[in-house]
Protein backbone atom coordinates (compact mmCIF):
# COMPACT_ATOMS: atom_id res chain seq x y z
CA UNK A 1 0.00 0.00 0.00
CA UNK A 2 1.44 3.34 -1.02
CA UNK A 3 1.82 6.27 1.34
CA UNK A 4 -1.00 8.04 -0.53
CA UNK A 5 -3.33 5.06 -0.02
CA UNK A 6 -2.47 4.91 3.69
CA UNK A 7 -3.23 8.63 4.03
CA UNK A 8 -6.58 8.16 2.29
CA UNK A 9 -7.43 5.27 4.63
CA UNK A 10 -6.56 7.34 7.68
CA UNK A 11 -8.69 10.18 6.33
CA UNK A 12 -11.67 7.83 5.94
CA UNK A 13 -11.19 6.55 9.50
CA UNK A 14 -11.10 10.14 10.72
CA UNK A 15 -14.36 10.90 8.93
CA UNK A 16 -15.98 7.76 10.37
CA UNK A 17 -14.82 8.81 13.85
CA UNK A 18 -16.29 12.30 13.47
CA UNK A 19 -19.58 10.90 12.19
CA UNK A 20 -19.67 8.44 15.09
CA UNK A 21 -19.15 11.24 17.63
CA UNK A 22 -21.92 13.30 16.02
CA UNK A 23 -24.30 10.33 16.05
CA UNK A 24 -23.43 9.62 19.69
CA UNK A 25 -24.25 13.22 20.53
CA UNK A 26 -27.59 12.96 18.73
CA UNK A 27 -28.47 9.78 20.63
CA UNK A 28 -27.43 11.30 23.94
CA UNK A 29 -29.54 14.41 23.35
CA UNK A 30 -32.52 12.25 22.32
CA UNK A 31 -32.51 9.62 25.06
CA UNK A 32 -30.14 11.21 27.59
CA UNK A 33 -33.00 12.24 29.85
CA UNK A 34 -34.46 8.75 29.79
CA UNK A 35 -31.07 7.22 30.60
CA UNK A 36 -30.60 9.66 33.48
CA UNK A 37 -34.01 8.74 34.87
CA UNK A 38 -33.08 5.07 34.61
CA UNK A 39 -29.79 5.28 36.47
CA UNK A 40 -30.35 8.28 38.79
CA UNK A 41 -33.07 7.41 41.26
CA UNK A 42 -34.59 9.47 44.10
CA UNK A 43 -34.21 8.22 47.66
CA UNK A 44 -36.22 5.13 48.49
CA UNK A 45 -37.22 6.63 51.86
CA UNK A 46 -37.01 9.99 53.65
CA UNK A 47 -34.42 10.45 56.43
CA UNK A 48 -34.81 8.66 59.73
CA UNK A 49 -35.16 11.91 61.65
CA UNK A 50 -33.63 12.42 65.05
CA UNK A 51 -35.70 13.95 67.82
CA UNK A 52 -34.35 17.51 67.42
CA UNK A 53 -35.29 17.92 63.73
CA UNK A 54 -38.21 20.42 63.76
CA UNK A 55 -41.52 19.88 61.99
CA UNK A 56 -40.97 22.44 59.21
CA UNK A 57 -37.71 20.74 58.15
CA UNK A 58 -39.35 17.32 58.14
CA UNK A 59 -42.34 18.63 56.18
CA UNK A 60 -40.13 20.06 53.43
CA UNK A 61 -38.05 16.91 53.05
CA UNK A 62 -41.10 14.63 53.25
CA UNK A 63 -42.93 16.68 50.62
CA UNK A 64 -39.96 16.46 48.25
CA UNK A 65 -39.69 12.72 48.85
CA UNK A 66 -43.42 12.19 48.23
CA UNK A 67 -43.03 13.76 44.77
CA UNK A 68 -39.83 11.87 43.86
CA UNK A 69 -37.62 14.94 44.26
CA UNK A 70 -35.41 13.94 47.20
CA UNK A 71 -31.96 12.50 46.39
CA UNK A 72 -29.35 11.06 48.72
CA UNK A 73 -25.76 9.88 48.76
CA UNK A 74 -24.46 6.56 50.08
CA UNK A 75 -23.54 6.61 53.78
CA UNK A 76 -20.54 8.85 54.38
CA UNK A 77 -17.32 6.95 55.11
CA UNK A 78 -14.25 8.10 56.98
CA UNK A 79 -15.93 10.61 59.31
CA UNK A 80 -15.73 9.96 63.04
CA UNK A 81 -19.08 11.51 63.94
CA UNK A 82 -21.08 11.02 60.76
CA UNK A 83 -21.96 7.92 58.79
CA UNK A 84 -25.42 8.79 57.44
CA UNK A 85 -26.25 9.84 53.87
CA UNK A 86 -26.46 13.44 52.68
CA UNK A 87 -29.95 14.40 51.46
CA UNK A 88 -30.73 16.99 48.82
CA UNK A 89 -33.96 17.93 47.07
CA UNK A 90 -35.53 20.73 45.04
CA UNK A 91 -38.93 21.79 43.71
CA UNK A 92 -37.28 23.68 40.84
CA UNK A 93 -37.22 26.97 42.74
CA UNK A 94 -35.78 26.15 46.16
CA UNK A 95 -33.32 23.45 47.20
CA UNK A 96 -32.67 21.85 50.59
CA UNK A 97 -29.40 20.31 51.81
CA UNK A 98 -29.66 18.12 54.94
CA UNK A 99 -27.67 15.59 56.94
CA UNK A 100 -27.45 14.36 60.53
CA UNK A 101 -24.45 13.57 62.72
CA UNK A 102 -23.67 12.24 66.18
CA UNK A 103 -21.71 15.43 66.82
CA UNK A 104 -21.38 18.47 64.53
CA UNK A 105 -18.40 19.90 66.42
CA UNK A 106 -15.62 20.46 63.91
CA UNK A 107 -17.76 19.12 61.05
CA UNK A 108 -18.76 21.51 58.29
CA UNK A 109 -19.43 22.07 54.61
CA UNK A 110 -16.59 23.86 52.85
CA UNK A 111 -17.90 23.64 49.28
CA UNK A 112 -21.38 23.15 47.88
CA UNK A 113 -22.84 23.79 44.46
CA UNK A 114 -24.32 22.46 41.25
CA UNK A 115 -22.52 21.39 38.10
CA UNK A 116 -22.80 19.69 34.76
CA UNK A 117 -21.53 16.35 36.02
CA UNK A 118 -20.43 14.42 39.07
CA UNK A 119 -16.82 15.43 38.44
CA UNK A 120 -17.56 18.86 36.98
CA UNK A 121 -17.20 22.29 38.55
CA UNK A 122 -19.57 22.99 41.42
CA UNK A 123 -21.22 26.36 40.93
CA UNK A 124 -22.36 28.47 43.88
CA UNK A 125 -26.10 28.10 44.51
CA UNK A 126 -28.21 31.25 44.41
CA UNK A 127 -30.81 32.64 46.77
CA UNK A 128 -33.95 30.58 47.45
CA UNK A 129 -36.83 30.91 45.04
CA UNK A 130 -35.13 30.72 41.66
CA UNK A 131 -33.01 28.79 39.22
CA UNK A 132 -30.58 30.81 37.06
CA UNK A 133 -32.56 32.36 34.17
CA UNK A 134 -31.16 31.85 30.67
CA UNK A 135 -28.68 34.56 29.74
CA UNK A 136 -28.37 35.99 33.27
CA UNK A 137 -26.05 35.56 36.23
CA UNK A 138 -26.41 36.39 39.90
CA UNK A 139 -25.37 39.99 40.50
CA UNK A 140 -24.09 39.22 44.00
CA UNK A 141 -20.32 38.99 44.27
CA UNK A 142 -18.45 36.34 46.21
CA UNK A 143 -19.55 33.07 47.75
CA UNK A 144 -22.21 32.66 50.41
CA UNK A 145 -21.18 31.43 53.84
CA UNK A 146 -22.12 27.78 54.18
CA UNK A 147 -22.85 27.95 57.89
CA UNK A 148 -25.50 25.69 59.35
CA UNK A 149 -29.02 27.20 59.32
CA UNK A 150 -30.23 24.76 61.99
CA UNK A 151 -30.62 26.10 65.55
CA UNK A 152 -27.41 26.13 67.63
CA UNK A 153 -26.74 22.81 69.28
CA UNK A 154 -28.72 20.81 66.73
CA UNK A 155 -27.58 17.40 65.62
CA UNK A 156 -28.33 18.11 61.96
CA UNK A 157 -27.11 20.38 59.16
CA UNK A 158 -29.67 22.27 57.07
CA UNK A 159 -29.39 24.87 54.33
CA UNK A 160 -31.91 26.34 51.89
CA UNK A 161 -30.77 27.78 48.53
CA UNK A 162 -32.03 28.30 45.01
CA UNK A 163 -32.39 25.57 42.41
CA UNK A 164 -29.90 24.32 39.80
CA UNK A 165 -30.11 25.26 36.15
CA UNK A 166 -31.82 22.85 33.76
CA UNK A 167 -28.43 21.71 32.44
CA UNK A 168 -26.98 20.82 35.84
CA UNK A 169 -26.67 17.11 36.50
CA UNK A 170 -25.08 16.86 39.94
CA UNK A 171 -24.94 18.32 43.42
CA UNK A 172 -21.39 18.50 44.78
CA UNK A 173 -20.69 18.73 48.51
CA UNK A 174 -17.33 18.80 50.31
CA UNK A 175 -17.27 17.97 54.03
CA UNK A 176 -14.38 18.51 56.43
CA UNK A 177 -14.39 17.06 59.93
CA UNK A 178 -12.78 14.68 62.41
CA UNK A 179 -11.56 11.49 60.75
CA UNK A 180 -12.45 8.03 61.93
CA UNK A 181 -9.48 6.55 63.80
CA UNK A 182 -8.13 3.34 62.30
CA UNK A 183 -6.03 1.07 64.51
CA UNK A 184 -3.78 -1.75 63.45
CA UNK A 185 -1.46 -2.11 60.48
CA UNK A 186 -3.72 -4.41 58.49
CA UNK A 187 -6.74 -2.13 58.70
CA UNK A 188 -5.05 1.14 57.87
CA UNK A 189 -6.18 3.31 54.95
CA UNK A 190 -3.31 4.33 52.68
CA UNK A 191 -5.26 7.33 51.35
CA UNK A 192 -5.89 8.52 54.91
CA UNK A 193 -2.17 8.17 55.68
CA UNK A 194 -1.34 10.25 52.60
CA UNK A 195 -3.86 12.88 53.72
CA UNK A 196 -2.24 13.07 57.16
CA UNK A 197 1.22 13.37 55.62
CA UNK A 198 0.07 16.10 53.25
CA UNK A 199 -1.52 18.07 56.10
CA UNK A 200 1.71 17.75 58.09
CA UNK A 201 3.84 18.94 55.14
CA UNK A 202 1.58 21.96 54.74
CA UNK A 203 2.14 22.72 58.44
CA UNK A 204 -1.53 22.52 59.26
CA UNK A 205 -2.35 23.31 62.92
CA UNK A 206 -2.38 20.28 65.18
CA UNK A 207 -6.13 20.62 65.72
CA UNK A 208 -6.81 19.90 62.03
CA UNK A 209 -4.19 17.20 61.47
CA UNK A 210 -6.83 14.70 62.48
CA UNK A 211 -9.42 16.06 60.04
CA UNK A 212 -10.41 14.44 56.79
CA UNK A 213 -12.07 15.73 53.63
CA UNK A 214 -14.93 13.85 52.00
CA UNK A 215 -16.27 14.85 48.59
CA UNK A 216 -19.79 13.77 47.67
CA UNK A 217 -21.43 13.96 44.24
CA UNK A 218 -25.17 13.29 43.98
CA UNK A 219 -26.62 12.82 40.51
CA UNK A 220 -29.92 14.64 39.88
CA UNK A 221 -32.53 14.87 37.09
CA UNK A 222 -33.94 18.42 36.73
CA UNK A 223 -36.66 17.15 34.37
CA UNK A 224 -38.35 15.53 37.35
CA UNK A 225 -39.39 18.81 38.96
CA UNK A 226 -40.49 20.60 35.77
CA UNK A 227 -44.09 19.26 35.99
CA UNK A 228 -44.38 20.82 39.47
CA UNK A 229 -43.33 24.32 38.35
CA UNK A 230 -46.24 26.58 37.32
CA UNK A 231 -45.74 30.02 35.82
CA UNK A 232 -47.55 32.95 34.23
CA UNK A 233 -45.48 35.35 32.13
CA UNK A 234 -46.45 38.90 31.17
CA UNK A 235 -47.42 38.49 27.48
CA UNK A 236 -45.44 41.53 26.30
CA UNK A 237 -42.24 39.99 27.70
CA UNK A 238 -42.87 36.36 26.73
CA UNK A 239 -41.80 34.24 23.78
CA UNK A 240 -44.11 32.99 21.06
CA UNK A 241 -45.31 30.11 23.24
CA UNK A 242 -45.84 32.26 26.31
CA UNK A 243 -42.60 31.09 27.93
CA UNK A 244 -39.86 33.34 29.36
CA UNK A 245 -36.96 33.66 26.90
CA UNK A 246 -33.87 35.81 26.86
CA UNK A 247 -34.55 36.90 23.27
CA UNK A 248 -38.11 38.04 23.98
CA UNK A 249 -37.09 39.93 27.11
CA UNK A 250 -34.19 41.76 25.46
CA UNK A 251 -36.39 42.59 22.46
CA UNK A 252 -39.07 44.10 24.72
CA UNK A 253 -36.37 45.95 26.72
CA UNK A 254 -38.58 47.39 29.49
CA UNK A 255 -37.13 50.69 30.69
CA UNK A 256 -38.91 50.73 34.04
CA UNK A 257 -39.77 48.06 36.63
CA UNK A 258 -42.29 45.69 35.03
CA UNK A 259 -43.87 42.50 36.34
CA UNK A 260 -42.10 39.72 34.44
CA UNK A 261 -43.47 36.42 35.73
CA UNK A 262 -44.99 34.68 38.73
CA UNK A 263 -43.78 31.15 39.42
CA UNK A 264 -45.17 28.58 41.82
CA UNK A 265 -43.58 25.37 43.12
CA UNK A 266 -44.12 22.86 45.89
CA UNK A 267 -42.13 24.91 48.40
CA UNK A 268 -42.04 28.42 47.01
CA UNK A 269 -43.86 31.20 45.18
CA UNK A 270 -41.59 33.64 43.33
CA UNK A 271 -42.32 37.03 41.77
CA UNK A 272 -39.95 38.27 39.05
CA UNK A 273 -39.53 41.91 38.03
CA UNK A 274 -37.79 43.04 34.83
CA UNK A 275 -36.48 46.51 33.99
CA UNK A 276 -35.00 47.01 37.47
CA UNK A 277 -33.06 50.26 37.64
CA UNK A 278 -29.35 49.85 38.26
CA UNK A 279 -28.19 50.90 41.70
CA UNK A 280 -31.55 50.41 43.41
CA UNK A 281 -32.31 47.93 46.18
CA UNK A 282 -35.92 46.93 45.49
CA UNK A 283 -38.48 44.89 47.38
CA UNK A 284 -41.90 43.38 46.65
CA UNK A 285 -44.66 42.78 49.20
CA UNK A 286 -47.68 40.58 48.46
CA UNK A 287 -50.86 42.08 49.90
CA UNK A 288 -54.17 40.20 50.09
CA UNK A 289 -57.74 41.60 50.09
CA UNK A 290 -57.71 41.91 53.88
CA UNK A 291 -54.59 44.07 53.78
CA UNK A 292 -52.26 41.41 55.11
CA UNK A 293 -48.75 41.86 53.72
CA UNK A 294 -46.21 39.12 53.10
CA UNK A 295 -42.56 40.08 52.91
CA UNK A 296 -40.13 38.04 50.79
CA UNK A 297 -38.02 35.44 52.52
CA UNK A 298 -35.23 35.86 49.96
CA UNK A 299 -34.42 37.93 46.90
CA UNK A 300 -31.67 38.47 44.37
CA UNK A 301 -30.83 40.52 41.30
CA UNK A 302 -29.65 39.09 38.00
CA UNK A 303 -27.59 40.78 35.28
CA UNK A 304 -26.70 39.97 31.69
CA UNK A 305 -23.32 40.33 30.04
CA UNK A 306 -24.83 41.26 26.65
CA UNK A 307 -27.81 43.44 27.57
CA UNK A 308 -28.57 46.21 30.03
CA UNK A 309 -31.53 44.39 31.52
CA UNK A 310 -31.58 43.70 35.27
CA UNK A 311 -33.97 41.17 36.77
CA UNK A 312 -34.96 40.72 40.40
CA UNK A 313 -36.73 37.80 42.02
CA UNK A 314 -38.58 37.77 45.34
CA UNK A 315 -39.31 34.44 47.02
CA UNK A 316 -42.23 33.76 49.37
CA UNK A 317 -43.56 30.72 51.17
CA UNK A 318 -45.69 28.68 48.79
CA UNK A 319 -49.15 30.21 48.22
CA UNK A 320 -52.15 28.14 47.03
CA UNK A 321 -52.87 28.32 43.28
CA UNK A 322 -55.45 30.95 42.23
CA UNK A 323 -54.75 33.09 45.32
CA UNK A 324 -55.34 36.74 44.32
CA UNK A 325 -52.92 39.32 45.71
CA UNK A 326 -51.34 42.63 44.83
CA UNK A 327 -47.61 42.74 44.20
CA UNK A 328 -46.41 46.08 45.54
CA UNK A 329 -42.98 47.19 44.41
CA UNK A 330 -40.64 49.73 45.99
CA UNK A 331 -37.38 50.67 44.28
CA UNK A 332 -35.89 51.32 47.73
CA UNK A 333 -36.80 48.69 50.30
CA UNK A 334 -36.21 51.19 53.11
CA UNK A 335 -39.28 53.13 51.92
CA UNK A 336 -41.63 50.13 52.09
CA UNK A 337 -42.91 50.99 55.57
CA UNK A 338 -43.30 54.74 55.06
CA UNK A 339 -44.11 55.52 51.41
CA UNK A 340 -46.66 54.30 48.84
CA UNK A 341 -45.33 51.70 46.39
CA UNK A 342 -43.76 52.77 43.12
CA UNK A 343 -45.69 50.10 41.19
CA UNK A 344 -48.66 47.85 41.94
CA UNK A 345 -49.54 44.73 39.92
CA UNK A 346 -52.59 42.55 40.61
CA UNK A 347 -51.64 38.88 40.23
CA UNK A 348 -53.11 35.43 40.72
CA UNK A 349 -50.79 32.69 41.93
CA UNK A 350 -50.44 30.08 39.14
Per-residue pLDDT of 161-191, as tens digits, reads 999 999 899 999 999 999 887 654 444 455 5
Q: What are phi and psi of 283, to 5 degrees?
A: -150, 150
How far is CA 215 from each of CA 43, 94, 177, 301, 332, rounded to the nearest angstrom?
19, 23, 12, 30, 41
Per-residue pLDDT, 117: 58
What's the rounded mean pLDDT across residues 4-20?
52
DSSP string for residues in 139-178: ---S-------SPTT-SEEEEEEEPPPTT--EEEEEEEEE
Q: Is a pLDDT exceeding 70 seen at residue 303? A: yes
Report CA-CA distances (Å) from 228 to 62, 66, 127.
15, 12, 19
pLDDT tens-digit series, residues 312-338:
999 999 999 999 999 999 999 999 999
Q: Which domains does the chain have, with CATH numbers?
A: 55-224 (no CATH), 229-348 (2.60.40)
Question: Is 89 exposed, middle or buried (CB count within 10 Å of its CB: 0-12, 13-18, 19+)?
Answer: buried
Name the strands in the sheet holding 211-219, side by side, starting at the edge strand that comes first in the sequence: 108-115, 170-178, 211-219
Cα 314 to chain centroid distance, Å, stands at 16
- Contact between 42 and 139 (Cβ < 8 Å): no
- Fill in the DSSP letter of residue 128: T
pLDDT for res 203: 53
pLDDT 10s digits, 119-162 = 555 678 899 999 999 999 998 877 778 999 999 999 999 999 99
Beta-bridge mates of residue 298: 315
- pLDDT tens sequence across 16-53: 454 444 444 444 444 444 555 566 999 999 999 999 99
Q: Taking residues 228-252, what's their average pLDDT?
A: 95
Amino acid sequence: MTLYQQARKLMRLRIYLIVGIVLLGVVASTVGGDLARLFIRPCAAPPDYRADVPAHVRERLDLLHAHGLLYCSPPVEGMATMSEPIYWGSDGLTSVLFFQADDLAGLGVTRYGFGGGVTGTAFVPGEPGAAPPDGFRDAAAGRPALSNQAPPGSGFYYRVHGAPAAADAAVNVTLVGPARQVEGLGSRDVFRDLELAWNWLRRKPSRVLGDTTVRIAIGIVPDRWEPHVRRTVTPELAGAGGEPTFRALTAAAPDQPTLYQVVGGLLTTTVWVAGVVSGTNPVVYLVDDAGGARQPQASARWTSAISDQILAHFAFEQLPPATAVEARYWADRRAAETAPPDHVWPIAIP
